[in-house]
Amino acid sequence: MNVELKAGETLDVLRCGDLKIIQHQRGYRFSIDPVLLSYFAQIQSADRVVDLGCGSGVIAMLLARRYPQLMVLGIELQMEQSQRARRSVQLNGLDKRVEIVHGDVRSIDSSLHGRFDRVVSNPPFRPAESGRCSSGDERACARHELAGGLDDFIASGAVLLRHGGTLSMIHLAERAVDIFSAMREAKLEPKRLRYIHSRCGSEARLVMVEGRKGGRPGLYTEAPLFVYRPTGMLQAERGKRDRYSAEVEALYCFSCE
């Protein structure tokens, strides 16, 4: 399927899943975070899944690629972002299983309450007061909590889930305690945890957490995930980017036949 790009848009390929993603050249552009979260989330092919704050739709499309029967709903506040995500879904031939809607996580339609088995989310990381940002800046809205904070995303995830359903999210490692607190406030019990480090020996930069609605106490901490190979294993070639770890490289080698 051919696509006509609008002014300021680019068409980028995500090797993981062989996805074509329409993005704004100067707006928010996807990173490795949605790839990591899509593998951390424990999904079954018959699950009903919603991606809160879906952005360009990367997580929703990756999950649909991995599970050919999966139905995914993506909710995105920024109108232009949601429109681009919808076009990307069509471009990748996933429009029968991935639906992108324009909506606010702070006001979830009551018809969606308790309907989903899994919620995934890669929400904005930074409080609104941290750094320069404006409500009209796409990158700022994606990175800063200008239209809903961590508590809002978690509370909305809990509302969307059936009893026993799970919310999986990726966030800053420094916000881990905030995540635990917000999850318990929303009756989501933290059950799985995995810290993400740039490489072995560095401090954790990100964390992925899974909470279960109505779950019993008991948190399982998985082995840390290292994004890059140790510095000593890198080739001393000027201008060469750090090489991903074997685990991350394996994630990017995934493709759908």
pLDDT in tens, 178-234: 999 999 999 999 999 999 999 999 999 999 999 999 999 999 999 999 999 987 665
Domain ranges of the chain: 9-186
Handedness of CA 28, 29, 31, 37 (dihedral sign): positive
Given this model, what pLDDT does residue 130 score? 52
Report residue 145 as tokens. 């909590």
Burial annotation 48-67 (CB, 10 A radius, 16+ → b, else e): bbbbbbbbbbbbbbbbbbbb
Residue type, 149: G
Going by C-alpha positions, the residue among 194, 159, 216 that lies closest to residue 41 is 194
Q: Give me the helices (H) in the chain, please.
A: 33-40, 58-66, 79-91, 138-143, 150-160, 176-185, 246-252
Q: What is the DSSP letter of 186?
A: T
Q: Which residue has the tokens 């069509």?
A: 90
Given this model, what pLDDT does residue 235 score? 56
Contact residues for 52 (Cβ-Cβ < 8 A; gap 6+): 75, 105, 119, 120, 121, 123, 153, 156, 157, 160
Q: Architecture of 9-186 per CATH?
A: 3-Layer(aba) Sandwich (3.40)
Q: Across-strand partners of 75?
A: 52, 101
pLDDT per residue of the chain (257 residues) written in tens, 0 to 9: 677 799 999 999 998 878 999 999 887 788 999 999 999 999 999 999 999 999 999 999 999 999 999 999 999 999 999 999 999 999 999 999 999 999 999 999 999 999 999 999 999 876 655 555 444 555 545 454 445 589 999 999 999 999 999 999 999 999 999 999 999 999 999 999 999 999 999 999 999 999 999 999 999 999 999 999 987 665 555 456 688 999 999 998 864 43
Given this model, what pLDDT does residue 87 score? 96
How far is 109 from 77, CA to CA, in rounded Å? 13
How far is 50 from 161, CA to CA, in rounded Å? 9
Given this model, what pLDDT does residue 26 score? 82
